[in-house]
Structure 1
Amino acid sequence: MWDQEPVTGFLQSTLLQNKLHDLVPGGAHTYARGADQYPEGMAPVLVRGEGARVWDADGNRFVEYGMGLRSVTLGHAYQPVLDAVRAVLDHGLSFTRPTELELRAAEDFLAPLPGADMVKFAKNGSDVTTAALRLARAHTGRDLVAICEQPFFSTDDWFVGALDMNAGIPETTKQQTLRFPYNDLGALGRLFDEHPGQIACVIMEAGTAMAEPAPGYLEGVRALCTDRGAVLVFDEMITGFRWSYPGAQELYGVRPDLSCWGKGIGNGFPVSALTGRRELMELGGLRTDRPRVFLLSSTHGAESVSLAALRAVIRAYAEGDPVAVMEERGRALADGVNEAARDLGVAPHVEVVGRPSCLIFTTKDPDGRPSQAFRTLFLQELLRRGVLCQSFVVSAAHTPEDIELTVEAARAALIVYGKALEDGVDRFLTGAPVAPALRSHAAPRRLG
C-alpha cells in the first residue's frame, strides 16, 4: 500500500473557499461541488490530481471518489489523453471553418453506435439535452415533454422548473414538463393517455446507480414512444463509457431516437454530444425542406483540444477495458466496506450500494432514516483519513492499494459512526451537517 500522510488540516483551503464565496455565487461553479456538501471547515480546495489521487492547498493527499462528478473514468492527468491534446496545441484551437479533426471525431464517436447517424458536439450536458428536446418538439409539432424522475438532466428551464430550487422559472414552462417514475410502464402509458397527441418526447436514463431496468421495461418504453409518435431520448451522461462502451443502450439492447453524451467521453475535458437518427438530426441541417431547427451553434463546440481528448479516450476504450477495471474495483470496495459495517454492527445504517462502476453509500440514523447529520459524520471521518468522497464512484485509475486504503479508512470511520448511533451524532460533528445541493433556500447552510 502506498503510504498515506496524515491530513494536517484545512487552513489554506478554508481561506481560499472564503474568497471564492466573495467572488463566485455559492463558492463553486457547480452546486454539487459546493462547500455546503462537505463538513464545515473541511472542504478541500484542490490544486492537482494524478490517477485517483488529489492534493489540496494545504498539501493533503486524498484518494478521490466521484472523479469530477463522474466525468473522469481513466484517471486524472491520463497521459495518452494529455499527449493527444499537446499534439494539437501548436496548430491552433478554434477557427472560422470546420477542421478535419471534427470529421474524424464524428466518425470515431458514431462508429460503435448503431442507429445513430449524425452527431453535434458541444461543451456540456445541458446543451445537448435541451437541443434534443427542441429537435423533438420540432419533429412532432408538440410542446409537452415527459421526463423520468431521475436526479438531473439540465440547467435549463424545462428541467429546473421541476426542482425545489426553481426560482425564476415561468409557471407556463413548468406546466410543459411532465414527470413519471422509473420502472413503471403503466405510469408512462397513463401520461400519454392523459395528454393525447401532446407529448413530444420521453427523456430518461436507461439505468441508474440505484436502479436497473425491470425485464421488458425499456422495450416497453421504446414501443410506447413509437406507438404514440413521441421521440425517445436517452441521457447517457453518466451511463456512457461507464456502464459499457459506448453506453447503456449497448448494454441493454434498446435503441433511442436521440442520445445525449458527456462526462466520461472526454475524461474531464469539456465535450458533450448529441447523436441520433438522420431523419431527426437533419432538421438542424441543410438537407431538409422543413422549417430549420436551431439545434446547436456554439463558438467552442468543436475546438480542437476537447475533440483530440475525445478521440484519445475512444482509443483507450478500444485498446483496453476500463469498464471491467471499474467494475472490479467497485466490487472490491463495496464488499470491503459492507463487510466492515457488518463486523462493527453498523449495517444497514451504512451500506455501499449501486452499480460497481457507480457506487454510492447510504447513511441512516438509529431509526433507519436517511440522515444528513450521519452522512456528514461519515464524510468527516473519511476526510480525516485521506479519503475525499461524496460517493464511491471509481475510475479505472483506482488501484487495489487505493481500495485497501479506503476500506481501512472506512472501517475506522465506522467505529466513530457506531459510537454516534449510541451516544448521539451531534457529539461527534465539528460543524453543521451538509444539506441537499438543490434545495429551495440557502438554509441550513446559509453563510453569515
Structure 2
Amino acid sequence: MHTENTECTAFQGDLDLPRSRAANERLHALIPGGAHTYAKGDDQYPENLAPVISHGHGAHVWDVDGNRYIEYGSGLRSVSLGHAHPRVTEAVRRQLDRGSNFVRPSIVEVEAAERFLATVPTAEMVKFAKNGSDATTAAVRLARAATGRPKVAVCADHPFFSVDDWFIGTTPMNAGVPAPTGDLTLAFPYGDLAATEDLLTRHRDEVACLILEPATHTEPPPGYLAGLRDLADRHGCVLVFDEMITGLRWSEAGAQGLYGVVPDLSTFGKALGNGFAVAALAGRRDLMERGGLRHPGDRVFLLSTTHGAETHSLAAATAVLTTYTEEGVTARLHHLGERLAAGVRAAAAAAGVADHVVVRGRASNLVFATLDENGRPSQRYRTLFLRGLLAGGVLAPSFVVSSALDDADIAQTVDAVSGACAVYRKALDNGDPTPWLGGRPVKPVFRRWA
C-alpha cells in the first residue's frame, strides 16, 4: 500500500537549518566531501538536516543555527568523557605556555608512556601517533618485518582498519590502489576458527599477521580469542588487536584486559585523547624494539611523525587514562548504556517496531539497526529514524554514550525515540517510508560512486 499524505511528511519539531545548509555549501566548495572524515559527511544525514557544529560541552553540542542536541558517538566515539572535560582541558592548558614540540623528546612523552603501560599492563612498550591508521599500518609493517611474510589477514566483519592502501584496497573505494597491493590482504570471518585455520593453511608461511577488533557489536564466542591466539602461535603469525573502539570502553585495559587474551601488538586511539589527536601502538618488547635502536637486526621504520608526540595531546591522554582509572568511567559508560538500551527497546516495543528498531552491542558501545518490512537493513528507514531523532534534539548516528550524559539526557533521548518510532510504525503500515524522508536517503560510507 502506498499513500501519499502530505500532512504526515513532517516530524513534530522538524528543524530548519539555514546556516548549517549554507555552511555545508562552503564546506563542499573547499573540502572534498565537505568533511575531513567520510563518516561525518552530510550524506550520512537526512537531506538538509546535517547540522554544522558551533561548539560542545559535556554531552551536548550546538549547531551554527543555535539548536542544542544531545550527542552520541561524539567524535566518532573519541569523546567518551564529554566535551571540554575539566581534567582534560586543565591538563592541556598547563602545557599551552610550555611549548608543544621540540627538537628532542619532552618529559611529557615518558610520563604518558608510563601512564599508558600502567593502565594496559599486557603491553611492554608503546609508541604514540596522531591517528589510528598510522598505528595499524605500523603494526602491519612490523609484523611483515618480523615474519618476513608479505600477506595480511584482516577480519572481514569489521568495517575499517586504516586509510592506507593495504586496507582501503579491499573496499569499494579502492580507486588509486594498485591491484597487487590489495591482493596482499586476505580476509577471515569473525568467530570462525576453522575458516581462519583453513585460510592460514592455504596461505602457509605467507601471512604475517591476523588483525581484528577483538569485539564489536557482538561478544566473542567462548574460546574464540584464545583460539586465535593459538592459531597465530602455531602458524607463526603476529596477532594484532585493533582496540581503537574497545580500548577503555570495554575495560580500562581494553578488550585484552577484559577477556584475558594477550595479543602480540595492539592499537589504541579514539577514547584515549577525549577528542585530542592521539593514538598508540603497543605490544611485546621484542617486536616493538625492532623499530628502536637497541636491537641487532634490520631497522623498521615504525612510527616517526613530526607531531606524533605533541605535548598537548599526550597531556590529554595522560589525563584521560588517570580519569578512567580513578573515577571508574568504564563502569559508568556501561551503566548509562544499559539504561539507554532498556529505554529505547521499551519505546520501540510500545510503538510496535521492536523487530525493526534494534539496539545492539556492548552497553558502552551501542549501535542501532533500522530494518524494513522484511527485516532487512534499510538506509531509507535509517533516514526516517535519524530525522525523528533530530526533531527531538538528539544527534545520534549511533547510541554510543559518553560519561557526561545524565538522567534528563537519557529521558529526552527515549522521548525522541518514541516519536521516531511512532512515525516508523506509520511508514511500515504504509509499506514505504518515502513520504517521511524529506529527500534522498542517507548513504553508506563505503560505496564506489559518489
The equivalent residue for 1:138 is 145
CA contact (8 A) 2:46 2:386 kept: yes
CA contact (8 A) 2:120 2:254 kept: no
Letter in 2 for 1:151: P
The equivalent residue for 2:341 is 334
Matched, 1:184 2:222: no
**How big is each residue's C-alpha offset from its partner over 1:314-337, in whole Å with a ceiling of 9 and x where there is no partner?**
110121111111111111111111
CA contact (8 A) 1:163 1:438 kept: yes
Letter in 2 for 1:391: S
Q: Percent identity?
A: 57
CA distance in 1, matches of 2:118, 2:347: 44
CA distance in 2, matches of 1:113, 1:81: 19
CA contact (8 A) 2:17 2:49 kept: yes
Over 3 Å counting, the alpha-carbon distance change for 1:8 and 1:363 in structure 2 is: closer
**How big is each residue's C-alpha offset from its partner over 1:383-441, in whole Å with a ceiling of 9 and x where there is no partner?**
01100011110011111110000001110111111111112211111110001011110
Q: TM-score, normalised by structure 2?
A: 0.96
Letter in 2 for 1:365: D
Deviation at 1:257? 0.5
3-state SS of paired residue (1:54): strand
CA distance in 1, matches of 2:363, 2:283: 29
- In the alignment, which of 100, 104, 119 is matched to residue 126 of structure 2? 119
The equivalent residue for 1:199 is 207
CA distance in 2, matches of 1:127, 1:348: 40
CA contact (8 A) 2:15 2:49 kept: no
Q: TM-score, normalised by structure 1?
A: 0.96
Aligned residues: CA RMSD: 1.1
- What 5-or-longer segments of structure 1 have no aligned partner? 443-448
Matched, 1:427 2:435: yes
Matched, 1:264 2:278: no
Over 3 Å counting, the alpha-carbon distance change for 1:234 and 1:216 in structure 2 is: same
- In the alignment, which of 277, 280, 284 is matched to residue 277 of structure 1? 284
Deviation at 1:112? 2.9
- What 5-or-longer segments of structure 2 have no aligned partner? 1-11
Matched, 1:153 2:161: yes
* 1:21-420 equivalences in 2 (<5 Å): 21-149=28-156, 150-208=158-216, 210-420=217-427
CA distance in 2, matches of 1:168, 1:182: 28
Deviation at 1:6? 5.9
Deviation at 1:368? 1.6
CA distance in 2, matches of 1:322, 1:200: 36
CA distance in 2, matches of 1:6, 1:346: 22
CA contact (8 A) 1:8 1:58 kept: no
3-state SS of paired residue (2:315): helix
CA distance in 1, matches of 2:200, 2:372: 40
**How big is each residue's C-alpha offset from its partner over 1:224-251, in whole Å with a ceiling of 9 and x where there is no partner?**
1111111011000000011111200000
CA contact (8 A) 1:7 1:61 kept: no
3-state SS of paired residue (2:113): helix
Query: When the two structures are aligned, how many residues end up with a matched partner?
Result: 437
3-state SS of paired residue (1:146): strand
CA contact (8 A) 2:148 2:208 kept: yes
